[in-house]
Structures are given as C-alpha cells and as structure tokens.
C-alpha cells in the first residue's frame, strides 16, 4: 500500500512516500527562520509550511518516481504540535484524500516516532520498552502489542530535548541546541563537572531535567566570560553525560521490571551519538535487542508518519473528515 505521509507539527515541513516495506522518499525542509529568535515562532512556522508543503509533496513524488494517482492512502500528523502548523498539514491531507478518493488517517506524532524504528524488517518482540526523547516529550513506554502504549514514566518538568535547547542557550550555542551541544561535547571531558542526576534514587520511572539545566546555568554564571568560553566543551560533555546516565539507568530499570528483551529509542534526542553509543554498549552487556531509527528518522520527518499510517491503514483504521487537530494530544 503506497502511503503519502505529511508532517507539519512544528518547524519541519516534510512529505514522504512509503510502501509496506520501504521508504521511497522522505523530503524534509527545516525552517531556518527561527534560529535568530532562539526558538520556534508559531506564526512563522505556519507561514513557512503554507509556502513549502505543496512543493515538498511534489518533490517526494518525483524522488519516489510516483504519480498522485499511485497513492493508496494518506497519513498526516494531527497532534501534538502547534495548532496553526498542524492545520496546514491536515487541510492539505483532507483535500488530497477527497480529490484522490483514497482513505486517510490522522497519526499521533509520538506514535510516528515510536514506529520509526519498529517498522524495520525484524521489529522488536512484544512486550518491549520504548524511550521517546524529543523536544516536547520524554516518555518511557511499555508496548505490549501493536498500537497499545502504557506510560511507565515521563518527565515531570522539561523534556530531554528541551534541556539540550535551554543549556545551548545558556552557552550561547544557538537553536536547536542538541546538535550544537553534541558537537562541542566531542572535545570535552564528560567528567569535568559533576551535574546532578535527578530522581535516580526514587523508586519510579519518571525524569526531571529542570534542576540539571539550572545547575548548568549557575555553573556558567560562576565563570568569567573567557573561562566560560574555554570550558564550553567540558560543560557540554558533562551535561550530556548526566542526561545519558539518567535516560539509560531508568530505561534499563523498566526493562528489568517488565521482563523485556527489546528496547526502542525514539525522538530527536535519539540522534545523539553519546546516547546511541551508551545504549548500544548497555544492551550488548545485558543481551537486550536495541532498535534505533537511522539518525534522519529520529528528528521530525514524514516517513515516520507515513510508516505509522501505513501500519494503521492496513490494520483497518482510518479517519473521518470531521477529525480536527489536537495540539495537546497524548498517546
């Protein structure tokens, strides 16, 4: 089943074509307009989606060597995300579904992240644990069967990606902060500064990153300008190490508690090579199967939405035309 996926929930305008097995194209336009504001400006995001989306869809078709008439179904993110941005994707998806006379489905963006890895040839065995770490979410999930998500833990304040973005702001590294921190950390010493690992001694699977962010802020404020610039690689590496420690320890607690043999890592922060590396090592030691999407499928993209949509449509789900966007949609 050839599915066109559309993703416009935040600041990536993306369209993709997938069939039951392969990603045929995945075009992603990252909006650069936000970088000078240090975060996403919703109004600008909507305008950029309006400008780009039809061109991106055409490009996705061209790259996949397909025509509109080849499309069997349409998948589009309907939440969570920015209302104005989601509306643009949903409006285009409904219009195309009407015109082409094909079924369509609204996809939960978080499910898209989760299924980006699990749709691979040999996916994880049920039940498995999934850690979703993005700019908006930090969730530990137990997935007992297809499309069934039990939340085991979540952040009680900032999301992991949000912490990367806020720390990057403190260090004046620009937006988005994750890639910039990762790059600086490469030449830093991850044991140079001891930052706190919150909630590790609590008997739950929740996370907290706001204290860590504040700790970095206080540490940065204790240095003069020159010292700070010199110490940025060490601060970035130490901060990153603290995040990775907490994410991996809590994830393996979940695996043990629920007797799982597979884990999926998903969301934009799963692009981080220190995090990927730590999970690879820890899983190898414990004989756990690890599934992580390719880096370009971790951050927002339409292929993950198309894949989730393809799986849902083939399982008999579809949306009706009165479906609206849900900006605060949960799993």
- Contacts with Zn ion by CB under 5 A lie at 134, 300
Number of residues this chain uses to bind ligand KG4 (CB under 6 A) = 20
Nearest approach in angstroms of CB 109 to Zn ion is: 6
> Which of ligand KG4, Zn ion, none does residue 299 bind to, with CB < 5 to 8 Å depending on kind?
ligand KG4
Q: 164 Cβ partners below 8 Å, 6+ apart?
A: 176, 177, 178, 181, 243, 269
Separation of alpha carbons 202 and 154, rounded Å: 13
Count helices and strands (H / E) in the chain: 10, 10
User: Which contiguous run of DSSP H or E holds residue 258?
Assistant: none
> Which of ligand KG4, Zn ion, none does residue 177 bind to, with CB < 5 to 8 Å depending on kind?
ligand KG4
Separation of alpha carbons 264 and 251, rounded Å: 10
> Which of Zn ion, ligand KG4, none does residue 182 bind to, with CB < 5 to 8 Å depending on kind?
ligand KG4
Nearest approach in angstroms of CB 71 to ligand KG4 is: 25
Question: Interface with ligand KG4 includes 161 (CB under 6 A)?
Answer: yes
State which of positions 4-33 bind ligand KG4 (CB under 6 A): 10
State which of positions 287-326 bind ligand KG4 (CB under 6 A): 299-300
Separation of alpha carbons 179 and 112, rounded Å: 21
Please, which residue, 108 or 134, has the CB nearer to Zn ion? 134
> Which of ligand KG4, Zn ion, none does residue 178 bind to, with CB < 5 to 8 Å depending on kind?
ligand KG4
By three-state DSSP, how is residue 131 classified?
strand
Nearest approach in angstroms of CB 269 to ligand KG4 is: 4
Separation of alpha carbons 106 and 74, rounded Å: 9
Please, which residue, 60 or 269, has the CB nearer to ligand KG4? 269
Total residues found in the chain within this entry: 331
Among 184, 231, 253, 271, binds ligand KG4 (CB under 6 A): 271
| DSSP β-bridge partners for residue 129 | 142, 263
Among 178, 188, 293, 309, binds ligand KG4 (CB under 6 A): 178
**Rounded alpha-carbon distances, angstroms, from residue 204 to 22, 96, 150, 237:** 38, 45, 15, 26
Nearest approach in angstroms of CB 195 to ligand KG4 is: 16
Nearest approach in angstroms of CB 49 to ligand KG4 is: 15
| Contact assessment for residue 198 and residue 207, using Cβ atoms and an 8 Å cutoff | yes
State which of positions 112-141 bind ligand KG4 (CB under 6 A): 134-136
Mode of pairing for the β-strands spanning 289-291 and 73-79: unpaired
> Which of Zn ion, ligand KG4, none does residue 209 bind to, with CB < 5 to 8 Å depending on kind?
none
Helix, strand, coil % over all residues of the chain, rounded to 5: 45, 20, 35
Contact residues for ligand KG4, defined by CB under 6 A: 10, 134-136, 161-162, 164-165, 176-179, 182, 267-269, 271-272, 299-300
């Amino acid at each position: 089943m050839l599915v066109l996926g559309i993703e416009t929930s935040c600041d990536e305008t993306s369209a993709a074509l997938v069939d039951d097995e392969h990603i045929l194209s995945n075009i992603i336009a990252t909006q650069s307009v936000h970088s000078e504001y240090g975060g996403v400006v919703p109004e600008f995001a909507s305008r950029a989606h309006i400008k780009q989306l039809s061109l991106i869809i055409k490009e996705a078709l061209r790259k996949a060597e397909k025509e509109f008439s080849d499309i069997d179904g349409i998948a589009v993110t309907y939440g969570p995300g920015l209302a104005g941005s989601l509306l643009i994707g949903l409006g285009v998806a409904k219009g195309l579904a009407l015109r082409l006379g094909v079924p369509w489905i609204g996809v939960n963006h978080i499910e898209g992240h989760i299924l980006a890895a699990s749709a691979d040839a040999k996916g994880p065995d049920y039940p498995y644990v999934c850690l979703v770490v993005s700019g908006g979410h930090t969730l530990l999930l137990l997935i007992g069967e297809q499309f069934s998500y039990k939340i085991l833990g979540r952040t009680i304040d900032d999301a992991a990606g949000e912490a990367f973005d806020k720390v990057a702001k403190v260090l004046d590294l620009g937006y988005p902060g994750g890639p910039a921190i990762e790059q600086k950390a490469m030449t830093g010493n991850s044991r140079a500064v001891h930052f706190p690992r919150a909630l590790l001694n609590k008997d739950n699977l929740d996370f907290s990153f706001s204290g860590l962010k504040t700790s970095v802020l206080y540490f940065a404020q204790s240095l003069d300008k020159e010292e700070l610039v010199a110490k940025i690689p060490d601060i970035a590496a130490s901060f990153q190490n603290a995040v990775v420690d907490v994410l991996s320890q809590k994830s393996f607690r979940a695996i043990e508690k629920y007797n799982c043999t597979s884990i999926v890592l998903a969301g934009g922060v799963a692009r981080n090579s220190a995090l990927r590396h730590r999970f690879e090592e820890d899983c190898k030691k414990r004989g756990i199967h690890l599934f992580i999407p390719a880096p370009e499928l971790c951050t927002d993209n339409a292929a993950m939405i198309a894949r989730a949509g393809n799986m849902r449509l083939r399982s008999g789900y579809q949306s009706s035309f009165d479906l609206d966007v849900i900006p605060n949609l949960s799993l």
